[in-house]
Amino acid sequence: MTGAAESTRPVVAVLYREALPPRLPEIEALAEVRLTKADGLAAAMDGAEVLYQWHSFSPALKENWSAASTLKWIHVSAAGVSQLLFDELIRSNVAYTNSRGVLSRSIAEFTLGFVLDMAKDAQGSLRLQQHQRWQHRVSRKIQGQRALVVGTGSIGREVAKLLSAVGMEVDGAGRTCRPGDTDFGQIHSSRELSGTVLAYDYVILAAPLTDETRGLVNAAVLAAMKPSACLINVGRGELVDTGALTGALTSGSIAGAALDVVHPEPLPEGHPLWGMENVIITPHMSGDTEEYLDDLGRLFVDNLKRYCGNEPLENIVDKDLGFVPAARAHP
């Protein structure tokens, strides 16, 4: 995908909800910018070549698709885009890019934090502290523990690198099984999780949500895990059957879970997962560092420069698959 002719400034419609995107002056230096909220998107897209979907999960594009006849490129400030794709967009020739890779290191750090939290029983220490109780316990080492990272894209690979750096043995699970990898010891097929998970102390979900991965961790997979194993989800809530997970945690079929994403989201008040001492819940924040908004903005500016210079775009989503294949990824 190449962009506009060098002699013209492309028209970029910027969809936002409340706060404007960072690095707006840099965008305005490269293009004619039309700022719009959802109710003005149709008018803003009239004659526009580019849509910068800063309001990542707005349904406005689908609702106004008939007004998108001149679009050549859409960029969304999120990595997971399965819920944003629709038939007309998938069938179109419009290039679609996402923000793959921007949050990967932060999510990996959050994942390592989850592993350490559970291995060292930080939650238990906090509860004892709150009751002013001095109670000695022992904790788990993570060196030598085995982790299976489900999802071998940008996030999964950053997770693997960090966990390997602290002495864990890390394998992956992806669409296809293959031996040997630069970041994983081996890669299993994610279709065969129930026959794979028994060997691992931590099962970590970092896969995109697609038709193939929805409900991937079901009752059979949870039943196949070690009773001492923990599940970590930093991918998408719908990767997991929440009812089956609740049952497995209640029965002691698995030791614990750390969930940055859940289904439904937000988790309803009164849901059993809220009150479980072997569960850590965070509100879908694993990638959100103090700098993340600026990092997302920088990625779009860099890609806009490529578009204006007729260079290939980075992070082009395969709209049929719902994610960026490795060959199209941001370096």
Burial class (CB in 10 A: 0-12, 13-18, 19+), 221: buried
Q: What's the token pair of residue 215?
A: 């409900």
In what helix (H) or strand (E) does residue 117 lie, and over which residues does it extend?
helix 104-119
Catalytic residue status for 188: no
Of the residues 236, 238, 263, 330, only one is catalytic, namely 236
d(CA 330, CA 314): 5
Sequence-distant (6+) residues with CB within 8 A of 49 are 3, 4, 10, 11, 12, 70, 71, 72, 73
| 8 Å CB contact between 258 and 232 | yes
265, 277, 291, 311: the catalytic one is: 265
The active-site residue out of 191, 284, 306, 328 is 284
Q: Is 265 a catalytic residue?
A: yes
CA-nearest of 156, 219, 216, 226 to 192 is 216
Dist. CA 280–CA 293, nearest whole Å: 25
Q: Which sequence positions are flagged as catalytic?
A: 236, 265, 284
